[in-house]
Structure 1
Amino acid sequence: MSEEERDFEERDFEERLRELLSEDAYTIRPSPVPYPRIRRQGVVERRRRVAVTGAALVALAAVPVGAFAVGGAGTGTADTATTPTASASATPAPTPSPTPSGPAGPATAGQLRDGITLEQAASGLDKCLAYDRDRVAHGGTASSDLGKPDEYRIILALNSTGDLNSPGDGIFVVAVKEEPQETRLVCNIKGGEASGLGISVGSDRQPDSPPVLADTNNNKLYQQSFMDKGNWKLPFGWGFIGTVEPSVAKVTVSYGGASSEAVLDHGWFVASGTLTEQVTRNPHIKGYDKAGRLIYDSAEDTSYQQVQ
């Protein structure tokens, strides 16, 4: 690993450490230790790898306080309104790839937000894969071959907002593949170049996982930096992803007091919307079976952190 990469990871680690220390400073007493989530995350993280700028994030995923936390203004404040993006719960055929050798597109056009085209998202994915290859070539750790762009399906693209720790706006591209093993990439592109890549290799799911399971690194998609806590740039476009079992026919995600129906895209659920005011609670997720029965509610999931 180069000296520049080490410095980058140290800065990121310091920021996350400040997040955890500051978060308890906002509360009268520390948050209760979420033992079920810690156990589940401990198993998951043994099969996970996060490269690039956010390498320290997964290392902190099993910390009791703030492990799934995001930027916000503390506890106890009511959520505020958003403008949701609604979409169908069924899984249509994915959009064809922009080129014969490119990644497949998402199930619906609404998963490409903010005017981002499939061609732009595919180009961003290609740059992020090249970024990872270059990182490994310069001494970075490689636990898996990420493969080629045409092995992936893009499930979400949206604008990203810069912060004090990582200035400059850009776009996020989320891409997944199933073979030879489940892989999820969250790419950040700024100024036409890859600036960060979050990698998850291997399924998050465990035998005791709920039928609807939020992705462990969602915070990058629905939060702004803890460094700017209490002073988000608005309006703020957010995204939220996770996996579902075959029994799930519908997923809703409420954020900031407004609810939208997520797209079910080949075993993944994808939701997005736009906040017009800063919030203090994490998205609220519900899952329903084909008969319309509620089979998952994140408000009752002890492994899911409710408050930012």
Structure 2
Amino acid sequence: MKIDPQDRAVSFRRRWGVPLGVATGVTAVSVAAVAVFSGVGDAKPDTTERALSGGSPTKTASPSPSPRPSDGAQAGGTGSSPSSDRTGDPNAFTITDTKTTAIDPGTAAKILSSCLGADAAQYHAVAAVRAPLASRTADGVVIGINPADQYVQCASEGDKGSSPDSPPTFINDRLWGTGRVIEYFDSTLEPAGNGKHLAVGAGHYSSDVAKVTVSFGDQKKEYPTVMADGAFVYAAALKPNTPVGRHYMGPDPHIHAYDAAGKEIYNQAEDPKFRSN
């Protein structure tokens, strides 16, 4: 559908699977992306429409991607019994691992190739990591960039890549508006077996930012992200503290940005565009 991302309602994670142009809470499937850009610092020039992911304000077109399993859907789960529908307390969870490992350049190139098809020749990987555990559909993430500083995000599964976006190059290449320092790409939360879930997210940042971290839910602890060429990526294994069902949404990720002096210059949890929702 053709959409104007400025018309989208804001949430910490955007669910895809209903038409992307729906302007109010899109809450359907597993892949999520946020579309708000806020903070301090100078933004890059606003020059042309770019391919974005997760609802950046420079894109006016994107077909809705194919539906994927719901967040928290349990393998083999059927029906809608009370136990399978339990959403659980999104803030009752434990982060069990945030360690990522680098994907070698050759494998990263294969992932981009299978994810982007003919467009892959335009991009090279700038951040490519394996997650601390694998979900049913992904074991890591690769961020690529082209000579025009346009970003793409691909989920990895071995040496294969995939994207929920249509086209897969639907992602932003710049920050939007004066004073913005952080932009969000796709973020996901998927079951990973043994009661655990895999949270993955990415975005990019302005030159004002020296460090990007992520926290989850109402927990204060911040975890480092992988940063390279203006892009950041995080991946975390988490386990709900109580049994949950197929509609488990999990904790919201909160991005924090710091300048070179160590001063926090952006906190997603305090961003009024998120707090209003």
| TM-score strictly above 0.5 | yes
Deviation >4 Å, runs of 4+: 14-17, 19-23, 34-37, 48-52, 116-119, 192-197
Q: TM-score, normalised by structure 2?
A: 0.57
Letter in 1 for 2:125: Y
Distance across 2 between alignment mates of 1:78 and 1:178: 38
Q: What is the Cα deviation at residue 262 of structure 1?
A: 1.7
Q: Is 1:185 matched up with 2:148?
A: no
1:126 to 109, 113, 116: 113
Q: Which residue is equivalent to 2:94?
A: 81
Q: How many residues align?
A: 211
Q: Cα distance 1:128–1:305, how it changes in 2: closer, same or farther (>3 A)?
A: farther
Q: Is 1:248 matched up with 2:262?
A: no
Q: Cα distance 1:237–1:211, how it changes in 2: closer, same or farther (>3 A)?
A: same
* Deviation per residue, 1:224-263 (Å, 9 max, x gap): 38xxxxx986322322211111111122201253421223
Q: What is the Cα deviation at residue 202 of structure 1?
A: 4.0
Q: What is the Cα deviation at residue 49 of structure 1?
A: 4.5
Distance across 1 between alignment mates of 2:86 and 2:101: 25
Distance across 1 between alignment mates of 2:86 and 2:233: 22
Matches within 5 A, 1:96-245: 110-112=100-102, 118-130=105-117, 133=118, 146-148=119-121, 151-158=124-131, 161-162=135-136, 169-187=137-155, 189=157, 196-198=163-165, 199-208=169-178, 210-215=180-185, 217-218=186-187, 220=188, 223-224=189-190, 234-245=195-206
Q: Which residue is equivalent to 2:261?
A: 291
Name which one, 1 or 2, has greater alpha-carbon Rg: 1
Aligned 8 A contact 1:263 1:269 in 2:
yes
Q: TM-score, normalised by structure 1?
A: 0.53
Q: Which residue is equivalent to 1:271?
A: 234
* Structure 2 spans left out of the alignment, 5+ residues: 1-15, 30-34, 39-53, 69-84, 242-248
Q: What is the Cα deviation at residue 271 of structure 1?
A: 2.0
Q: Which residue is equivalent to 1:282?
A: 252
Q: What is the Cα deviation at residue 270 of structure 1?
A: 2.0
Q: What is the Cα deviation at residue 201 of structure 1?
A: 4.4
Distance across 1 between alignment mates of 2:274 and 2:58: 15
Letter in 1 for 2:268: S
Q: Cα distance 1:126–1:306, how it changes in 2: closer, same or farther (>3 A)?
A: farther
Aligned 8 A contact 1:252 1:286 in 2:
yes
Q: Which residue is equivalent to 1:102?
A: none
Distance across 1 between alignment mates of 2:163 and 2:36: 31
Distance across 1 between alignment mates of 2:28 and 2:172: 32
Distance across 2 between alignment mates of 1:36 and 1:185: 18
SS in 1 for 2:110: helix
Distance across 2 between alignment mates of 1:41 and 1:129: 19
Q: What is the Cα deviation at residue 207 of structure 1?
A: 1.7
Letter in 1 for 2:206: E
Q: Cα distance 1:196–1:77, how it changes in 2: closer, same or farther (>3 A)?
A: closer
Q: What is the Cα deviation at residue 298 of structure 1?
A: 0.7
Letter in 1 for 2:203: G
Q: What is the Cα deviation at residue 42 of structure 1?
A: 7.0
- Pairwise CA RMSD: 4.4
Aligned 8 A contact 1:242 1:270 in 2:
yes
Q: What is the Cα deviation at residue 290 of structure 1?
A: 1.2
Q: What is the Cα deviation at residue 188 of structure 1?
A: 5.2
Distance across 2 between alignment mates of 1:175 and 1:200: 12
* Structure 1 spans left out of the alignment, 5+ residues: 1-10, 24-33, 56-70, 87-109, 134-145, 163-168, 226-230
Q: Which has the higher strand share?
A: 2
Aligned 8 A contact 1:125 1:187 in 2:
no
Distance across 2 between alignment mates of 1:242 and 1:213: 5
Distance across 1 between alignment mates of 2:196 and 2:228: 27
Aligned 8 A contact 2:213 2:257 in 1:
yes
